[in-house]
Amino acid sequence: MSLVERKRQLVRDELTEAALKLLAFQGFEETTIDQMAAAAGVSRRTFFRYFQSKEDVIIEFLSDLGRKLSDALAARPESEPPELAVQNALRVFTDTFWDHPEKSRRLAEVTICTPSLLARYLERQAGWKATLTAELARRMHVDPSSDVRPAIIVAVSFAAFDTALTRWVESDATEDLTTLVETCFAAAFPPPPTA
């Protein structure tokens, strides 16, 4: 990476961090682009060099997590059961939340409770599901065009994760997110009955 690219990345990172903090603690509707730019010490024009809208700040942040999610699934041990591999890969999200729990809870709430952000999040999630389905099919040694199991495992995994995330937000983060995720996965993928 060249010096110019590193400087651009540094400005983008600082702008993202400042904007996410404002969005988390002020709310989506209450936060303006001018406030985000000022918090990062840049002009409005500079903001638009990096983001097309304030929604894009959160969506780009989620995109970065999506890339990490795909890498995390690929790195899981081949011997791990598929649903457990996806659950463990989803720790990319929960581990990020624990870095800044209050900000993360508020950002999750803003995303879930703002219709335009929720729509963009679900749109982004569709891409993650496709990528994870392909990776899971590779791990399972099946063709995803003829075997529906990888797609179903990924879809159910995201349903379990989103249910846990919604419960966590609704509880004002008083419930432990990791425990909620584990509970939801246990309900989604119950162990087979013993004979």
Supply the DSSP string of 66-124, one letter for each residue: HHHHHHHHHHS-TTS-HHHHHHHHTHHHHHHHHHSHHHHHHHHHHHHHSHHHHHHHHHH
CB 123 within 8 A of CB 49: no
Q: Helices (H) and strands (E) in the chain — how many of each?
A: 10, 0
Residue type (1 letter), 67: R
Question: Please, what are the domains in the chain?
Answer: 1-51 (1.10.10.60), 54-188 (1.10.357.10)
| pLDDT for res 11 | 87
| Sequence-separated (6 or more) residues with CB below 8 Å from residue 90 | 69, 157, 161, 181
What single DSSP character describes residue 170?
H
Cα distance between residue 36 and residue 64, in whole Å: 20
Mean pLDDT by 10 residues, the chain (195 residues): 83 88 88 93 92 87 82 94 95 80 84 89 91 95 96 97 92 86 95 77
| pLDDT for res 125 | 92
Q: What is the dihedral of CA 47, 53, 54, 58, to 10 degrees?
A: -100
For residue 174, the SS3 value is: coil
The pTM assigned to this predicted structure is: 0.84
Residue labelled with tokens 């919604």: 166
| pLDDT for res 75 | 95
| pLDDT for res 190 | 92
CB 175 within 8 A of CB 182: no
CB 16 within 8 A of CB 60: yes
